[in-house]
Amino acid sequence: MTIAQYIELFAGDSGFVIGYNEIPDLTRTLKWDSDDSSILTRILSVATQFGAELSFRFEVGGLSVIGKYIDIRKNIGGNHGVYLRVDTDLNKIVTTTDIADLCTAIAGTGGTPEGSNDPITLKGYHWIDPNGRYVLGDDGVLRDPVALRTWSRLLSNSNPDPKDAHITRTKTYEATTQATLLQSVLSDLEKFNHPAVNYEVDIAKLPDNVSIGDTVYLVDEDEQLFLSARVLELTYSYSNESGTATLG
| Mode of pairing for the β-strands spanning 168-172 and 225-237 | unpaired
pLDDT at position 168 over 80? yes
pLDDT at position 241 over 90? no
Supply the DSSP symbol for 89.
Answer: T
Entry pTM: 0.61
- Region 63-85: mean pLDDT is 92
pLDDT at 197: 86
- Of 45, 95, 38, 49, give the one whose Cα is nearest residue 224: 95
pLDDT at 141: 97
- Of 147, 97, 105, give the one whose Cα is nearest residue 122: 105
Distance of CA 119 to the CA centre of its chain: 26
Mean pLDDT of the chain: 91
Return d(Cα 49, Cα 234) in angstroms, integer. 25
Distance of CA 89 to the CA centre of its chain: 27
Measure Cα distances from 185 to 46, 105, 128 in Å. Answer: 22, 9, 14
Exposure string of 65-101, with b = 16+ CB inside 10 Å and e = fewer, is eeeeebbbbeebbeeeebebebeebbeebeeeeeeee
pLDDT at position 84 over 70? yes
pLDDT at position 154 over 90? no
pLDDT at 169: 96
Query: Cβ distance 99 to 147 under 8 Å?
Result: no
With pLDDT > 70 as the criterion, what percentage of the chain qualifies?
Answer: 99
Domains of the chain: which residue ranges? 3-73, 79-97+196-247, 100-192
Residue-wise pLDDT for 174-224, tens only, equals 888 999 999 999 999 999 999 988 888 888 888 888 988 999 999 999 989
pLDDT at 177: 93
H or E element: which one contains 227? strand 225-237
Return d(Cα 121, Cα 136) in angstroms, integer. 12
- Region 48-58: mean pLDDT is 92
Return d(Cα 50, Cα 154) in angstroms, integer. 44
Name beta bridge partners: 234: 245
Query: Cβ distance 6 to 30 under 8 Å?
Result: yes
**pLDDT classification of 244: cutoffs 50, 70, 90:** confident
Residue-wise pLDDT for 16-51, tens only, equals 999 999 999 999 998 877 666 788 989 999 999 999
Query: Cβ distance 142 to 106 under 8 Å?
Result: yes
pLDDT at 171: 95
Measure Cα distances from 118 to 57, 112, 121, 136, 241 in Å. Answer: 45, 6, 9, 21, 59
pLDDT: which is higher, 185 or 89:
185
pLDDT at 34: 67
- Region 6-23: mean pLDDT is 93
